[in-house]
Amino acid sequence: MATDPVMSFEGTLDELLGFELLEADEEGARGRFAVSDAVRQPMGLVHGGAYAAFAESLASAATYSAVAAGGRIAMGQSNYTNFMRPVAEGTIQARATPVHRGRSTWLWDVEFTDDKGRLCATTRVTVAVRSAGRSSRRSGSRSRS
């Protein structure tokens, strides 16, 4: 797996939460984030939304690395996360594996493990693949006055 240098977390939610993209290509993605107050819920455990957000970022980055050369973009369409083990400290490791690679949607399974390699959460992510031009026109057509 190789990381696409075009896909940057700079200035995004991912940067704010401390997510690290280690590798991403059409075969999968790997990343990690440190457990900090930024990703904890009030009881001190990693917030479920942190898992869901990172899963979408990994799946979107990996899909994008495969479709960008064809003038397409990738964006999260849906995700569903299950939690197996609470985590309150350490580092969360994540690995995304493709299940389906279609023309307009890709499906990914993402597994999250703790420092001991124990499964903490799983997420199934659907990523929409769209024309980059269509998305740009939509956002560019809005007037900001």
Q: Give the bridge partners for 121, in sequence order.
A: 83, 112
Give the number of other Cβ atoms within 10 Å of residue 84's Cβ.
11
- Number of alpha carbons in the 13 Å side-chain half-sphere of residue 52: 11
Which residues are registered as beta bridge partners of 32? 20, 93
Cα dihedral 74, 106, 119, 45 in deg (nearest 10): 40
Looking at the annotation, which residues are catalytic? 56
CA distance 1 to 89: 28
